[in-house]
Structure 1
Amino acid sequence: MSFMNDDTTIFYRDATELAHLIRTKEISPVEVIKVHLDRIETVNPKVNAVVTLMRDDAVNAAKAAEKAVMNGDVLGPLHGVPFSIKDALDTAGVLTQRGSRLFAGNIPAQDATAVARFKAAGGIPLMKSNLPEFSAWTETDNLVTGRTNNPWNLERTPGGSSGGESAAIAAGMTPIGIGSDVAISVRGPAAFTGIAALKATHGRIPYTGHYPAVTQRWWHVGPMARTVRDVALGYSILKGPDGVDGYAVHQSNADSSDVNLAGRALKIGWVSDGAFGPVDSEITAAVKAAAMQLSDLGFDVEEVRLPFLGDPLATLMTTVYGEIVPYIKKLVAGRESDLHEIGKGIIAFSDPSFSDYLTAEHNAEALRSGFAGFFQKYDVLLCPVNPMTATPHGAQELTVNGETVSWMHVMRATSPFNVTGLPALSVPYAFSSERLPIGIQLVSKWLNEATILRLGALLERRGGLGDRRPPL
């Protein structure tokens, strides 16, 4: 089995290509793991994305993977490829501390379904990645494993709650990983760090083995990677029921009933400030450029309004926090001093009144109905991911186009699709004048991930990203 000599051609190759090179004996799984371990040793001290490194197990798995290749065994689609795992997902026999002192030293007995599926596809677990306490913030920081930095600018956040995943993938420490999303948490970090991520239709990918279970009806587990084709590969492996998650009821081949468009051009609506403002002008420019690109490619594209949008972030906060706050309060009773500021902020929330909670539920249903009508006319919505590029660490107030907004505004353009369970893809598209990544978001009707993955690959290839390697 021959090896490549230039390590950088290995740790910045995507998972799809690495799997091909391993299968065709152009590179050894052992060499792939070694190069990624070396990369982690070099850059993780600056980024702090890795919380648990599975060095010995990964090396042993790579040796077994190499033997399987040489023996001519049947190989899975991720055979010999390393992957990373957000530390909210259980890993059998491996620390899963969930960013909280309350779970320090926790070692699960079983893998989360998503982890088990990547392993069954031949992937090699390499590392657990950092997250905020209870996965409940847009900054990746906690009292157990500290703060993660954005590899494009160490003074900026990679976002949250899958910020460790996004930073590790962007920095070349892992080619593909598994994150999760309750309001922004795979798509926002992906946009902040210049990678791709998919929040599929709710229930497409089982949530089994992810913490916390109490808000399962809002959470989505999803693939994260440097390329859309890797995200599509990860999605193909992760989707489908597991017989445990009661929301994961769609068969792997389920699709929206009218996905066959019979050769007609897709109809795409785009919006930025008009629905999610204020939005940074450079991000709006990127959304407009993507719309023009799609039009030039022959798609039917027009600017739209979303008059039914309302305040989905407020709806999400009332429902999700209304469900999680009482649970966390019971969990931490007597151990409040062990909480990070994130956890302290959670237990400081007042429980919503029954009337407020019901109103939020009604608003969520109205939003679903609004988007059901929208997708009767349009096949895809194109919009921003985050209204701004990566923000300074700990920022509580932000200025966007001259307006002062709270840190929660970062979730303005992502939360509607958690409230509704719609599939949404974060696509790396451009760079700001500060050389920070800009992502765009593609949303489709329920169960139509195939369309946004197709469009995302087109835009990603043509988006002028240039070199995607952070200055590390």
Structure 2
Amino acid sequence: MHPIINLSATALAKAIRNKDVSATEVVDAYLNRIKEVNPNLNAVVQLSEQTAHDQAAKADAALASGDISGPLHGVPFTIKDSFDTAGLISTGGTKGRANFVPSKDASIVSRLRAAGAILLGKTNTSELTLSYETNNLIYGQTNNPYDLSRSPGGSSGGPAAIVAACGSAFDIGSDYGGSLRYPSHCCGIATIKPTSGRVPRTGHILSFGGVLDSFQQMGPMARFVDDLSLVLPIIAGPDDIDPGIVPMVLADPKKVNLKSLRVAFHADNGIIAPSSETDKVVRQAAALLGDAGLIITEIRPTGIEQSYDLMIALLSSDGGVSIRRLLQDAATKAHTLPWLGLAKPMDATQFDTLMMTWCRFRSTLLSFFKDYDVILSPVNAFPAMPHGSLNADLEAFSYTMTYNLTGWPAAVVRGGTSPNGLPIGVQIVAHPWREDVALAVAEFLEKALGGFQPAPI
């Protein structure tokens, strides 16, 4: 393994700009690492090797002439296969799109390219991003680099696995109920789900087709928190296509006064108790924040116990009509979504009552949050689980579902390790539009708790 791939994306960008290393050398190092680890992981499902080499050569030539394309000049990345990439197959994990080649990039992809980043390839996703296990009928199952018998999580399991294996400087995933945060927890990396309305969904397999699409947010995944702070401003902001994006200022995490923050933490959300090692990691993180001068209170947000039942009711409220439409649009006949048959449509009165319940839920949690700046909690009740076992304890995912329901920003950073060597993350939630606060706390905990630890692969 070439030592340069151990650098953060931030350090890589600086090294390339300073001509300490060429973009070609960096791209070659990452491509070699993908070829080394991917046979065991099945994380990268489309490789754009020749194009990446060509772009690296152009980046080096431009730099030699004093031209820097942007803050990611020459930095390699991968992207979840739920995003459209011009000229490169983009399946969304569904069989009807097995050979679909988009004519243009998703908004996020075009912004990253404009900033100088070099796309290495596409990473695996669950079908239509709608499962916590990364497996589909086109590319099959992705494995966890810390234990191949376990899931890397989903739906952004391909991104999490290859980033954790040092096969990509960073990736971009999506999060409909924890799909950024849960895989990052399983694979020991960092991520942030931005505020609902921060990052455009244009060109994603689930874009902006209905009221529940506010659940879905796009965000960066990386080994280091600094890289999240580097990439998020590049992909954020209106694209004049996604109608849900708000032109809000993105503040600098470096300017956050940590000691002024009030932190509410809980290890148990009242829906499902966490494993003992998860409880321990969250409490240790809270104690370290307290030792650093932050005001710490152990308290569970009011009404959080409704999260799981409310999320499930909302997801099934149309009887599966929206998902069937996506499958039909993709010409997919055989799929991996058996739960579709269990979704029961609601009449107008039932749906109206459910919408009112959702609004009251958000209002109750927002009222609770006025006395705090941060909520610290588990990402999931358990560390990474064996393949095929995730549906047994769906309530374990309620820890992330809560903040899809509210739309608030939520970061994840590695907090510790289970007795059998699996990463355990902690979740840091901030007020709407205060990604800077979530990232500042995540960076502190990364340094205090050790952060990313290389996977044994």
What TM-score does the superposition give when structure 2 sets the normalisation length? 0.94
Distance 1:62 1:350 in 2: 51
Secondary structure of 2:337's match?
helix
2:414 counterpart of 1:428: yes
Aligned residue in 2 for 1:244: 241
**Code of the aligned partner of 1:468:** Q
Corresponding letter in the other structure for 1:378 = Y
246-255 vs 211-220, greater mean Cα deviation: 246-255
The CA deviation at 1:40 is 0.8
Q: Write the deviation string for residues 224-256 of structure 1: whole angstroms up to 9, x where unpaired.
A: 10011111111121111111111112234479x
Q: Distance in 1 between matches of 2:204 and 2:398?
A: 24
Distance 2:119 2:147 in 1: 27
Give the CA deviation at 1:413. Answer: 0.3
Query: 1:420: how far off?
Result: 0.8
Aligned residue in 1 for 2:219: 222
Once the two structures are TM-superposed, the CA of residue 125 in structure 1 deviates from its matched residue by 0.7
2:352 aligned partner: 358
Secondary structure, aligned partner of 2:297 = strand
Q: Name the counterpart of 1:438.
A: 424
Question: In the alignment, residue 221 of structure 1 is paired with which amino acid?
Answer: M
> Residues of 2 paired with 1:324 and 1:122: CA distance?
43
| Aligned twin of 2:298 | 303
Structure 2 gaps of 5+ residues are none
Residues in 2 aligned to 1:253 and 1:148: alpha-carbon distance in whole angstroms: 34
DSSP 3-state at the match of 1:127: strand
Deviation at 1:313, TM superposition (A): 2.4
Please list every run of 5 or more consecutive structure 1 residues that lacks an aligned counterpart in the other structure.
1-6, 398-405
Instruction: Give distance in 1, aligned partners of 2:215 and 2:316.
Output: 11
Report whether the alignment pairs 1:368 with 2:351. no
Taking the aligned partners of 2:312 and 2:410, their CA distance within structure 1 comes to 19
CA 1:273–1:134 in 2, change beyond 3 Å: closer, same or farther?
A: same
Counterparts in 2 of 1:191-210, with a 5 A limit?
191-210=185-204
- Give the alignment partner of residue 290 of structure 1, picking from 281, 285, 294: 285
**2 CA distance for matches of 1:262 and 1:95?**
45
1:246-299 per-position Cα deviation (integer Å, ceiling 9, x unaligned): 1112234479xxx99889621111001154531011111111000010011111
Cα 1:286–1:87, aligned 2, differ >3 Å: closer, same or farther? Answer: same
Question: Aligned with 2:140: secondary structure?
Answer: coil
1:14 to 4, 8, 21: 8
* Aligned equivalent of 1:231, options 225, 228, 232: 228
CA separation of 1:463/1:111 partners in 2, compared to 1, >3 Å: closer, same or farther? same
Q: Which residue of 2 aligns with 1:185?
A: 179
Q: Does 1:280 align with 2:292?
A: no
Question: Identity of counterpart residues, as a percentage?
Answer: 36
The yes-or-no answer on 1:124 pairing with 2:109 is no
Amino acid at match of 1:433: P
1:312 is the counterpart of 2:307: yes
Q: How far off its partner does 1:359 sit?
A: 3.1
Shift in Å, 1:355: 3.8
Aligned-pair CA distance for 1:67: 0.9
Does structure 2 retain, via aligned residues, the 8 Å contact 1:386–1:411? yes
Q: State the 1:333 CA deviation.
A: 5.8
Contact 1:336 1:344 in 2 (8 A): no
- 403, 426, 435: which one aligns with 1:449: 435
SS at match of 1:217: helix
AA at the equivalent of 1:470: A
Query: Does the C-alpha gap of structure 1 residues 74 and 310 become closer, same or farther in structure 2, counting only changes over 3 Å?
Result: same
- Provide the rounded CA distance (Å) in 1 between the counterparts of 2:104 and 2:172: 16
After superposition, what is the alpha-carbon deviation per residue over 1:295-346, rounded to whole angstroms, capped at 9, x for unaligned?
1111111101223223222222222343582133345469998423x32332
Partner of 1:157: 151
Counterpart position of 2:381: 387
User: Contact 2:237–2:247 at 8 Å: present in 1 too?
Assistant: yes
Q: How does 1:61-72 map to 2 (within 5 A)?
A: 61-72=55-66
- Aligned with 2:60: secondary structure? helix
In 1, are the aligned partners of 2:256 and 2:437 still within 8 Å (CA)? Answer: no
Q: Is the 8 A contact 1:425 1:453 kept in 2?
A: yes
Distance, in Å, in 1 between the alignment partners of 2:182 and 2:248 is: 28
The one-letter amino acid of 1:250's match is P
SS of equivalent to 1:282: helix
**1:370-423 Cα distance to aligned partner (Å, 9 max, x none):** 2221221000000000110000001156xxxxxxxx331231100010011000
Distance in 2 between residues matched to 1:263 and 1:96, nearest whole Å: 41
1:76 deviation in Å?
Answer: 1.1
Would you say the 8 A contact 1:23–1:75 is kept in 2?
A: no
Between the two proteins, the alignment pairs up a number of residues equal to 453
RMSD after superposition? 2.2
Dislocated runs of 4+, deviation >6 Å: 259-264, 334-337
For the residue of structure 2 that corresponds to 1:378, the secondary structure is coil
SS of corresponding position for 1:361: helix
Letter in 1 for 2:420: E
Distance change (3 Å), C-alpha of 1:426 and 1:253:
closer
| Contact 2:46/2:122, CA 8 A, preserved across alignment | yes
The secondary structure found in structure 2 opposite 1:248 is coil
